[in-house]
Structure 1
């Protein structure tokens, strides 16, 4: 597996990660199946797993995905000491909905709960503020995060769904190693709003969420002729082409495709060996 450095940390992780969300939200597989998916990802050399306290059905199910990942890592026969788990906090799941909560008191509590859900024996590898809550200043919300770093509950900090200005505000409070924003053939905002360029300049890892467009859109990738044609030419899936396209966009990018089936993560890993020419990249750009 190809590796890349996480931010400026000196820590190497797999160049493609695993997104845990599909294993814990609606229509999720049985836990035993999900554990097999995670184990297969580890077998394939994946050492970066992305999760969140809110990857669950609702508030009564909070931290489900974190507990699942901890269970999978604990039961894996191989060495997992080099696996980096990046979690997030700051979203709530009332009745299965998604709402923001940047209340420092809540974040302080959910960090401790995530620490326990992930095993409670070592600092959270990366804790990401899931989305800025307009009710609270970023510095206010991140105060308990900085405190958790100082207290040994968190090793590294990232942000998610942040603008350049918001990233800079976060950096005034605590060191940031990663940014996780939406980026796909249908959502190319990071190219326009300066976030991708800023990550390159500041040495931050960029984690594109919903790289295939999410559950509603991923099946429509076949309708983008440039992607479909390249997939046919290269003998790979449209998903591999999208991951290769994203990786071509910036050395800062580390895709984290979600998976709830072994076949999905096996397919995603194949993208490591897919290389697109400048002309092929431009062809995709012109149709998206």
Structure 2
């Protein structure tokens, strides 16, 4: 598995990560299957695991995904020292809905809860502010993260769903190593809003969330002629083509495709070997 630097840090992460959100939402697979998926990802060289305190069914289930990952890592027989777990805080799940909560008191509390859920033995590798809450300033919301870094509870800080302006304000508050925004064939805003260009210029890692379009759109990739034809030509899945396309857009991009089956993460990892020419990239861009 190829490695990349995490932002300006000295940490190496795999060039493709594992998104664990569907392992904890409604309709999630049995725990044994979820753990098997995480173990298979590790076997394949994936060292970046993406999660969040809100990856759960509702508020009563908060931190489910983090507990699951901690259990999977504890039961893994291989070397977990290279593994980087990236979690997030700042969203709530009332009755299964998604709402923002940038209250510094809440973020301070949930950071400590995430630290404990992930084992409480070493700092959270990467903590990300999940989505800016307009009720609180960027500076106030990130103050608890800065405190946690100074206290040794968090190693690195990232942000998610941020604009360039918000990102600059965040960086004036605490050192930022990564940005996680939506980016896929249907949502190409990072190409035009300046975020991807900014990350590349500043050596920040860009994590595209929902890289394959999410559960509602992923099956539609077969209906995109440019992607489907390239997949047929290269004898790979349409999912591999999309992941390869994202990685080809910038060296700072590290996709985090989700998986609930062994076959899914096995397929995603194959995208590392898929090479797209400039002409092929233009073909996708025009689709």
TM-score by length of 2: 1.00
In structure 2, the residue corresponding to 1:46 is in which secondary structure?
coil
Displaced runs of 4 or more, over 6 A: none
Which residues in structure 2 correspond to 1:195-274 (within 5 Å)?
195-274=195-274
Which residues in structure 2 correspond to 1:20-169 (within 5 Å)?
20-169=20-169
In structure 2, the residue corresponding to 1:181 is in which secondary structure?
strand
- Cα deviation per residue 1:89-116 (whole Å; 9 max; x = unaligned)? 0000000000000000000000000000
Looking at structure 1, the residues matched to 147 and 105 of structure 2 have their Cα atoms a distance apart, in angstroms, of 12
- Cα deviation per residue 1:160-210 (whole Å; 9 max; x = unaligned)? 000000000000110000000000000000000000000001110000000
Looking at structure 1, the residues matched to 125 and 10 of structure 2 have their Cα atoms a distance apart, in angstroms, of 13
Aligned-pair CA distance for 1:243: 0.2
Aligned-pair CA distance for 1:13: 1.0
For 1:285, the equivalent position in structure 2 comes to 285
For 1:171, the equivalent position in structure 2 comes to 171
Q: CA RMSD in A?
A: 0.4
Looking at structure 2, the residues matched to 97 and 237 of structure 1 have their Cα atoms a distance apart, in angstroms, of 33
In structure 2, the residue corresponding to 1:80 is in which secondary structure?
coil
Instruction: List runs of 5+ in structure 1 lacking aligned partners.
Output: none
- Cα deviation per residue 1:258-278 (whole Å; 9 max; x = unaligned)? 011100000000000000010
TM-score by length of 1: 0.99
Looking at structure 1, the residues matched to 13 and 145 of structure 2 have their Cα atoms a distance apart, in angstroms, of 23
In structure 1, the residue corresponding to 2:131 is in which secondary structure?
coil
Aligned-pair CA distance for 1:11: 1.0
Looking at structure 1, the residues matched to 89 and 136 of structure 2 have their Cα atoms a distance apart, in angstroms, of 15
- Cα deviation per residue 1:130-189 (whole Å; 9 max; x = unaligned)? 000000000011111100111111000000000000000000110000000000000000
Tell me the matched-pair count: 287
Aligned-pair CA distance for 1:213: 0.7
Aligned-pair CA distance for 1:16: 0.3
Looking at structure 2, the residues matched to 185 and 36 of structure 1 have their Cα atoms a distance apart, in angstroms, of 29
Report the more deviating stretch, 4-13 or 43-52.
4-13
In structure 1, the residue corresponding to 2:267 is in which secondary structure?
helix
